[in-house]
Amino acid sequence: MPHTHRPATAPQREDGPIDPTGLLTFPAAPTTGEEMWRKRIGINISFLWLLYPVLDLAGSHPTALRAVVVAVAVLVFVVVYNGLSRRPAQVHRTLVVGASLAVLTLIATALTLADRSSWALLFVFTAIAGAMRLPRRDAVVWIFFCTLLTALVSTAASPDTGSTISLSATTLAIGFMMFYFRRLTELNRDLVSAREELARLAVSEERLRFARDLHDLLGHGLTVISVKAELAERLLARDAAAAAQHVTDIKIVARNALSDVRDAVSAYHQPTLEGELTGARMALQAAGIHAHLRGTEQTLDPQVEALLAWAIREGTTNVIRHSGARNCRIDVQPGPTAVSAEIVDDGHAVEPNGSGNGLAGLRERAERLAGTLEAGPAPGGGFRLSVSVPVGRPAT
């Protein structure tokens, strides 16, 4: 019975790896109540495989005692199997795991020999349980052991060689399939952990860099302010003019320090073309507007890239808020002498003179880089915003 689980990722907690056999996916970590119920359903659906020996038993008209004994044995098997699936994947070398596998093996052997050969299907579940819970080397040995036991017990229970070979091959194949799915889950978990750690290190490094920048910017200025404040305090009583000059110097140093901090923070929050294009696509799609985007792989000056990124952000915001458009085209056009970003929609032409506050601020940014901004109705209807910046020219 096929049953699908989604791979576990962080920080969101999802289901385990895909299990194409429909047999079992053991949880890799504790889950929420709703997710655990889904896992319980998925695991126990796999026991529909046992309908074959159950129907075979029912067709043989067993005695009441025989039916009760078999039902109790199967119920114990299912309970122990579910108990193993509840244990975290990190728990391997424990008495509970070993005892549980022993119980599963004894029940599978007893039912196959004492009742009917079709109960050898239980060895498939036993192989999977060991493959998912034992250390890797022991798990491989366990799969081969279950395969050999399947062959021996099936042979002893039935002379049907074809059935014995089929059940043994199934035990071996599905056991190793789940073993490799377990390994894939472990590798995926390690990869997610490594990526999270790299992200944490990147954030930490960026914080340290920003802290160093602020220290370098403010350290000298605050030192000068402190020294001049002490001098002004000493001179205040006997030389008011000199003290006033130091106060003036303090004001100038403080203004320069404030300007440096503003520049640093502005650079720290500087947007990128790639990030704004990705954000524009998501925002437009969320608003029900079909997005046609074209970026550039050309390496741009950080200030030029920031301006084009701000233009895309402002243009996308205006399209979503005011245009009522169904389509929006964002085109970044690189060139040998200039690079431009154009945002065109097919909605209502808003702000035909480009006089909005956002566009006014964008125009000022463009002028500082000797660029131009054009905003107004598009020739075919809708609104067009275009920002063009010369390449290789100094900012004014």
- CB–CB of 344/382 below 8 Å? yes
Give the per-residue pLDDT at 260.
Answer: 72
The residues near 48 (Cβ < 8 Å, ≥ 6 apart) are 1
Which CATH architecture describes the domain 273-390? 2-Layer Sandwich (3.30)
- CA atoms of 87 and 29, how far apart (whole Å): 8
- pLDDT tens sequence across 176-218: 998 888 888 888 888 888 888 887 887 787 777 777 777 666 7
Write out the E strands in 215-363: 290-294, 327-333, 338-345
CA distances from 395 to 204, 263, 280 (A): 33, 15, 27
What does the block give as tokens for 310? 């701000």
- pLDDT tens sequence across 128-170: 888 888 888 888 999 999 999 999 998 888 888 888 898 899 8
The residues near 68 (Cβ < 8 Å, ≥ 6 apart) are none
Q: pLDDT band at 327, cuts 50/70/90?
A: very high
- Residues paired with residue 333 on neighbouring β-strands, in sequence order: 340
Q: pLDDT band at 352, cuts 50/70/90?
A: very low
Secondary-structure percent of the chain, ordered helix, strand, coil, rounded to 5: 65, 10, 25
CA distances from 134 to 39, 93, 129, 188 (A): 20, 7, 8, 19
The residues near 173 (Cβ < 8 Å, ≥ 6 apart) are none
- pLDDT tens sequence across 242-258: 888 888 888 887 887 78
Can you list the alpha helix ranges (DSSP code H) found in 269-344? 273-286, 302-318
**Which letter does DSSP use for residue 323 in this model?**
I
Domain chopping of the chain, boundaries? 1-269, 273-390
- CB–CB of 296/257 below 8 Å? no
Q: pTM of the full predicted structure?
A: 0.47
- CB–CB of 70/31 below 8 Å? no
- CA atoms of 8 and 396, how far apart (whole Å): 52
On the 0-12 / 13-18 / 19+ scale of CB atoms within 10 A, 208 is exposed
Helices (H) and strands (E) in the chain, counts: 11, 5
Query: Measuring CA to CA, which residue among 97, 105, 114, 116 is closest to residue 171?
Result: 105
Say which residue, 396 or 273, is predicted with more confidence.
273
Contacts 24+ apart (CB under 8 A), 139-145: 139/179, 139/182, 140/179, 142/101, 142/175, 143/171, 143/172, 143/175, 143/176, 143/179, 144/172
